[in-house]
Amino acid sequence: MALSFPNRSRTFDETRKAVRFLAHDGMFEVPFFIESSALVEIDYPRTTAAECLIAFDAARSAIQEAAQYRYSNERRSVYLLTGDDLR
């Protein structure tokens, strides 16, 4: 089954320095994180939680595509997306 992203909420995890978001595979929640370093524009790192959340919202489609790709190629309990996943 393909992932769905019915809940648009996301949070910044200060410990991991990553944005956390959820997908669903049927009735199962699938947690994802994307590193703050993946939410970088040229010469302008996203350093604060607010900046990371804004960057996440701006790139939501690409991030969800990357999450779908990772999920279809490997099964894990938690997924961590990096900048390489967005290329």
If we measure between CA atoms, which residue out of 21, 12, 29 comes closest to residue 66? Answer: 21
Q: Is the dihedral of CA 27, 9, 21, 77 positive or negative?
A: negative
| Collapsed DSSP state (helix, strand, coil) of residue 67 | helix
Q: Note the pLDDT of residue 71.
A: 96
Q: Note the pLDDT of residue 53.
A: 93
CA–CA separation, 87 and 81 (whole Å): 11
Q: What pTM value is reported for the model?
A: 0.90
State the 10-residue block means of pLDDT for the chain, 87 residues long.
90 95 96 92 70 92 96 94 91
CA–CA separation, 57 and 60 (whole Å): 5
H helical segments located in the chain: 49-58, 60-73
